[in-house]
Structure 1
Amino acid sequence: MSSPAVPKAHGTAARQGEGTPASLLEIRSRENPQFKELRRLAQENGAYRRQGRIWIEGEHLCRAALARGWQPAQLVMSEQGAAMAAALGLDASVPRLLLADALWSQLSALGSPAGFACVLALPATPALDPLAATVVLDRLQDAGNVGSILRSAGAFGFRQVLALAGTAALWSPKVLRAGMGAHFGLRLIEAAGEDAVATLQVPLVATSSHQGEWLHAAAPPYPCAWLMGHEGQGVSPALQARAGLHIRIAQPGGEESLNVAAAAAICLHASAPRP
């Protein structure tokens, strides 16, 4: 998606010359239209869908994307963060946007702003692989839980995540931060209907807090599709009815239930292929 033109009246000047990147813009006014769009992208959960691009802030996420072959559409940096951003070693053809430090503090949603971010093109939704080891997210609301589950999925060999409608936006800034770079190695399908689950040809395994086999005594298959449900309501009855195996986790300490992200990590590890 192309960025809007930026008139000098809004405090932007282009700087270009020998040894400088092909495109370098400087913004010092919060009224600048590009700045306003970036602030929405960095702070609003659904802005990536409207703008067709993704905001990833800080060295860890940027390097995780680069390591997986993702190429930034733009590098955005504060004055203080410019030197650290240069250490990424991006090609000079990547457009740069330099923000005054005072603007960066209004843009960043981090408690300790990193000073630079990469803007990536939002990838097209991939086709569902019916035979892939999959994690199905059924209306999970909390961005931290969703991002944590994506990390576990990547760690334990579940390369496809099917997020049903009502689940927290997968490419939102909060989910991206919680995912810690896992996004860039996963096949992510979001806002899907329950009918998409029916196309999976691997065994469906539903988590439950009150029914099914004990995980420590079961032998969950791999590949399979783990169904992880809403934080309060669990997996929907309709999806429970589709599952061929129901699993619960023993809790000898006596707690009523586990956080869904913790339960997902335990379940995915239990069925992951062994080295």
Structure 2
Amino acid sequence: MEPKIINSRQNKQYKYFLSIAKRKIAGLCLLEGQRLVHELLQSRYAANCSTVLLSKEQWSILTEEEKKTISNGRECVILEDSLLESLVNTVSSQGWAAVMQIPSQADLQSLLTHKTTFNFYPPVKNFQTAEIVLILDALQDPGNMGSIIRSAAAFGIKAIFTLPATVHAWQSKVIRAAMGGMFKVPLVEQIEAAQLFSLLQQHNYQILGTGFNNQSIYDYLQSKTAAAALKLAVVIGNEGNGIREETQKYLDAVLTIPMLPNNESLNAAAACAVTLAALRFR
């Protein structure tokens, strides 16, 4: 099927795309960049992509096979360069964008009971295939969230849950920073703490917070509790204030990353990456 061509800002469909880009239409988001669009089309969420937007130049250099793949079950629209540029927030879109339906919230029970295997990891001494989930508590910076999602994908995290007051995940800054991680880890947003932590406790998850405490993460990893724990839930708190007081009551332990004394703290995303790496390859 031949693509539709849009040359005018008065075009109704262009105005529709612009509303999506400005997050004025619930349930839809606009992805920017060739790599990200390709990641989407190769992911479990490929069916969520309703429209691919391309510049004239990008369409002209595609092979017939590539055009067929992109247009499979979805609309393909060619936009004038100025129109496409008005939709994206970056200069690196490379003439590519896509309209995506935001995935529906996954069933919590199904996520927590599903058994995950990690056969893609190389052999590591004392490696354990722990089930690890990540909980974001009032995290506010989109760049931090995207980086955390990217780390979660890298370390085989089973699912990510966000508590109320956490920044919305399906926005352009988060998606760009996640570098395709959005399509690799199930993400459930705005879950009430009481509901989530009750389910985690029912499914025998050890709930770990990150922050300042006497116990370093490496001391914890040498403990009998850690050796027996095959289900772990890691809570990452707000950039400035850490884990909220109302969330702390659910924690089984608070773990600290040791640092030289002349350093105050790590960035939330950096602390998350260090923590997940330590827990995965303990």
Report the TM-score range of the alignment, normalised by the length of the smaller protein.
0.7 to 0.9
| 2:16 counterpart residue number | 37
CA deviations over 1:236-267 (Å, ceiling 9, x no partner): 11221111111011111621111000000000
Report matched runs for 1:92-241 at 5 Å: 92-128=72-108, 129-131=111-113, 133-195=132-194, 196-200=196-200, 201=203, 202-208=205-211, 210-219=212-221, 220=226, 221-241=229-249
The yes-or-no answer on 1:267 pairing with 2:275 is yes
| Separation of aligned partners in 2, 1:253 and 1:43 | 44
Deviation at 1:211, TM superposition (A): 1.4
Deviation at 1:230, TM superposition (A): 0.6
Partners of 1:140 and 1:180 lie apart in 2 by: 19
8 Å Cα contact 2:52-2:98 kept in structure 1 = yes
* Cα deviation 1:211-232 (Å, max 9, x = unaligned): 1411122215443110000111
Aligned partners of 1:255, 1:85: CA distance in 2, in Å? Answer: 51
Q: Counterpart in 1 of 2:70?
A: 90
Structure 2 portions without partners, runs of 5+: 114-130
Matched-pair contact (CA < 8 Å) for 1:222–1:271: no
Aligned counterparts of 1:188 and 1:115: Cα–Cα separation in 2:
28
Question: What is the DSSP-based 3-state SS (H/G/I as helix, E as strand, rest coil) of the residue aligned with 1:81?
Answer: helix
Amino acid at match of 1:123: P
Pairwise CA distance, 1:74: 0.9
* Matched residue, 1:64: 39
The verdict on how the C-alpha distance between 1:204 and 1:143 changes in structure 2, with shifts beyond 3 A counting, is same
CA contact (8 A) 1:212 1:245 kept: no
Q: Give me the whole-angstrom Cα distance separating, in 1, the residues matched to 2:93 and 2:270.
A: 28
Number of aligned residue pairs: give it: 248
Unaligned runs of 5+ in 1: 1-19
In structure 1, C-alpha distance between the alignment counterparts of 2:11 and 2:174, rounded to whole Å: 27
Are the equivalent residues in 1 in contact too, given 2:132–2:231 (CA < 8 A)?
yes
Gap change, CA 1:38 and 1:233, over 3 Å in 2: same
Distance 1:235 1:212 in 2: 16
C-alpha offsets along residues 142-175 of structure 1, whole Å, 9 cap, x if unaligned?
A: 0010011011111111120001111111111111
Contact 2:34–2:93 (CA under 8 A) maintained in structure 1: no
Length-normalised TM-score, structure 2? 0.81
Residue identity matched to 2:137: D
Displacement after TM superposition at 1:94 (Å): 2.2
Q: Counterpart of 2:128? A: none
* Secondary structure, aligned partner of 1:230: coil
| Cα separation, 1, equivalents of 2:245 and 2:95 | 46
Shift of residue 52, structure 1, vs aligned partner:
2.2
Q: Tell me the distance in 1 between the aligned counterparts of 2:281 and 2:266.
A: 24
> Which residue is equivalent to 1:75?
52
Q: Does the 8 A contact of 2:135 with 2:234 survive in 1?
A: yes
Measured on the aligned residues, the alpha-carbon RMSD in Å equals 2.1
Contact 2:216–2:255, Cα closer than 8 Å, also in 1: yes
Q: After TM superposition, give the deviation of residue 85 of structure 1 in Å.
A: 6.1
Q: Is the aligned partner of 1:242 residue 2:250?
A: yes
Paired-residue identity, %: 29
SS at match of 2:40: helix
144-153 vs 252-261, greater mean Cα deviation: 252-261
Match of 1:54 in 2: 29
* Aligned CA distance change for structure 1 residues 212 and 84 (closer, same or farther; 3 Å): farther
Instruction: Summarize the Cα distance change of 1:252–1:273 in structure 2 as closer, same or farther, 3 Å threshold.
Output: closer
Change (3 A) 1:145 1:156: same
Distance across 1 between alignment mates of 2:147 and 2:239 = 14
Deviations 1:50-87 (A, max 9, x none): 34223222221122222224232111112233235664
Kindly report structure 1 stretches of 4+ aligned residues shifted beyond 6 Å.
none
Partner of 1:134, secondary structure, is strand
**Cα pair 2:137 2:235 within 8 Å, conserved:** yes
Confirm or deny: 8 A CA contact 2:37 2:96 kept in the other structure: no
